[in-house]
């Protein structure tokens, strides 16, 4: 499995007990969507290595306690600490309309109704209270709250995200 065929799910954050269990940080909007995982790919020295899930219990704030097959003690668990976790992109159902996966729009051009091209999506900062769209326009960073109704169109063919930014927000960053 190649990284470009996968999406970033999160990271092995810390040990969880002494019998090989680890705590995963799931860097996703809805951790509950991943409650029934049976396998993940862990990036070990730039090679995606499959690990099969024995048990998974969702905890709070995007964390999950996981026991992987073959990881039966603290030493084996230490080998996968602070490693990134991936899943194949093909397992995600295709979204339609203005719905999108955070990783899907990275690199898309952002077109605002008033200002036109305001930059390229660098990342979606997934804050629970106020998720943000981080857009880069040259050296400038624009942070746009992902409010309901902000995104008016997702054009996957053109790799464009059309938005209607709150009045004055883009001007604040670009000085127009």
CATH number at residue 135: 2.30.30.240
10 lies in the same domain as 87: yes
Residue that is last in its domain, among 65, 91, 117:
91
- The total number of structural domains in the chain stands at 2
Going by pLDDT thresholds of 50, 70 and 90, the confidence category of residue 105 is: very high
Asked if residue 57 is part of any domain, the answer here is yes
Give burial (CB, 10 Å; 0-12/13-18/19+) of 85: buried
74 lies in the same domain as 13: yes
Reported pTM: 0.70
- Closest by CA position to 46, among listed 102, 13, 1: 1
Indicate the range of 25-29, 65-69, 75-79, 84-88 predicted with least confidence. 25-29
Residue that is last in its domain, among 91, 119, 141:
91
67 lies in the same domain as 20: yes
63 lies in the same domain as 84: yes
32 lies in the same domain as 107: no
113 lies in the same domain as 35: no
Is the pLDDT confidence value at 102 over 70? yes
109 lies in the same domain as 148: yes
Residue 118 CA to residue 129 CA, distance in Å, equals: 24
User: What tokens were used for 142?
Assistant: 């624009």
81 lies in the same domain as 11: yes
Going by pLDDT thresholds of 50, 70 and 90, the confidence category of residue 62 is: confident
User: Which residue do the tokens 């269990």 mark?
Assistant: 21
Asked if residue 96 is part of any domain, the answer here is no
| Domain region containing 106 | 102-174
Going by pLDDT thresholds of 50, 70 and 90, the confidence category of residue 128 is: confident
């Amino acid at each position: 499995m190649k990284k470009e065929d996968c999406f970033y799910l999160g990271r092995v954050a810390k040990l969880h007990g002494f019998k090989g269990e680890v705590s995963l940080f799931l860097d996703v909007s809805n951790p509950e969507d991943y409650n029934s995982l049976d396998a993940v790919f862990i990036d070990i020295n730039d090679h995606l290595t499959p690990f099969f899930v024995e048990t998974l219990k969702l905890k709070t704030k995007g964390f999950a306690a996981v026991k992987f097959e073959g990881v039966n003690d603290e030493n084996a668990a230490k080998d996968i600490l602070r490693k990134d976790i991936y899943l194949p992109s093909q397992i995600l159902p295709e979204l339609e309309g203005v719905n999108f996966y955070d990783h899907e729009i990275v690199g898309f051009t952002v077109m605002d109704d008033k200002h036109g091209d305001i930059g390229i999506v660098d990342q979606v900062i997934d804050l629970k209270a106020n998720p943000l769209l981080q857009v880069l326009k040259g050296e400038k960073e624009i942070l746009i709250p992902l409010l309901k109704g902000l995104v008016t169109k997702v054009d996957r063919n053109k790799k464009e995200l059309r938005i209607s930014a709150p009045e004055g927000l883009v001007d604040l960053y670009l000085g127009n």
